[in-house]
Amino acid sequence: MLKKRIIPCLDIKDGRTVKGVNFVELRDAGDPVELARTYSELGADELVFLDITATHERRKTLSEMVRRVAEQISIPFTVGGGITSVEDASLMLQNGADKIAINSAAVRDPQLINRLADRFGNQCIVVAIDAKQTNGIWKVFLNGGRLETELELFSWAEQAVSLGAGELLFTSMDHDGTKQGFAIEALKELTKRVNVPVIASGGCGTTAHFTEVFQETNVDAALAASVFHFGEIEIPALKKELENNGIATRSV
């Protein structure tokens, strides 16, 4: 049985970790380097680092901070935000990232997925998808949730995988920061449609939500931010509860 992964997410703005609700009302959550080190020590399985305003502000992800984070941790590390080329991705990997996450750039240039996968391998490429329901349809949004597209979540996910995505990170904008639980039905459908690992993101508020998403869907990992950043859920206790519910995780 593949063990499920617990992944804290570091959303970065102006060099600080931030967290909001439904992608807005951001508040400071601490120094990303310190948080990264803490999560690595506490038994997180991976980290995701997203420079959430890089695309919107037409900036590149802060490679120096990526290097500093990578020096402090001993777990896989995914970096995203403002990556629009093979050269951008190469810089992040040279500075210590293990995987690259692309979102808006992939929608605007789907062949970027193919180019990155050809250069670095499918296992290195994560396509992140931000979506929310519009008139009952899961629509894909770009630029940190600012720009609605005509793309539909499931068809875009299938296309991304066909182009070489080795993993998908799906964030429900409707659930983000609400602490009301993950988008279970959407995740059920998504994991039926694709044959690569799926990371669930958006809405976790309790340890029971982690248990639910692993028991009710076929996701490979669950990602959360504020519940970890503000000490509402401790990773060792979370993993113990998951094990008690028959969900295999990597030992702390």
pLDDT at residue 55, as a whole number: 54
Residue 179 lies in a domain: yes
pLDDT at residue 231, as a whole number: 86
Q: Decide if 228 contacts 250 (C-beta within 8 A).
A: no
Q: Decide if 228 contacts 8 (C-beta within 8 A).
A: yes
pLDDT at residue 25, as a whole number: 45
DSSP string, 90-114: HHHHHTT-SEEEESHHHHH-THHHH
**Residue bearing tokens 């409707």:** 174
pLDDT at residue 226, as a whole number: 81
- How many folded domains does the chain comprise? 1
Residue 252 lies in a domain: no
Is residue 130 among the annotated active site residues? yes
User: What is the residue-level pLDDT of the chain in tens, covering all 252 positions?
Assistant: 689 999 998 887 766 666 444 444 444 556 888 889 999 999 999 999 888 665 544 445 578 888 989 999 999 999 998 899 999 999 999 999 999 999 999 999 999 999 999 999 999 999 999 999 999 999 999 877 788 999 999 999 999 999 999 999 999 998 887 789 999 999 999 999 999 999 999 999 999 999 999 999 999 999 998 899 878 999 999 999 999 999 999 875
Cα 176 → chain centroid: 12
pLDDT at residue 132, as a whole number: 94
The model's pTM is 0.90
pLDDT at residue 61, as a whole number: 57
Name the residue range of residue 100's domain.
5-244
Measure the CA–CA gap between 67 and 33, rounded to whole angstroms.
Answer: 10
Kindly state the tokens that stand for 78.
């995914």
Residue 118 lies in a domain: yes
Is residue 98 among the annotated active site residues? no
pLDDT at residue 176, as a whole number: 80
Cα 188 → chain centroid: 17
pLDDT at residue 17, as a whole number: 65
pLDDT at residue 10, as a whole number: 86
Single out the catalytic residue among 45, 130, 176, 220.
Answer: 130
Measured CA to CA in angstroms, residue 161 lies from 53, 104, 177, 197, 220 at distances of 25, 16, 27, 10, 16
pLDDT at residue 24, as a whole number: 43
Residue 249 lies in a domain: no
pLDDT at residue 76, as a whole number: 95
CATH number at residue 186: 3.20.20.70
Alpha helical stretches, state H, the chain: 32-42, 63-72, 86-94, 104-108, 111-120, 153-163, 184-193, 207-216, 226-229, 235-244
Residue 251 lies in a domain: no
Single out the catalytic residue among 11, 45, 51, 220.
Answer: 11
pLDDT at residue 177, as a whole number: 75
Measured CA to CA in angstroms, residue 54 lies from 49, 59, 97, 122, 154 at distances of 12, 5, 17, 24, 25
The letter for the amino acid at 109 is: D
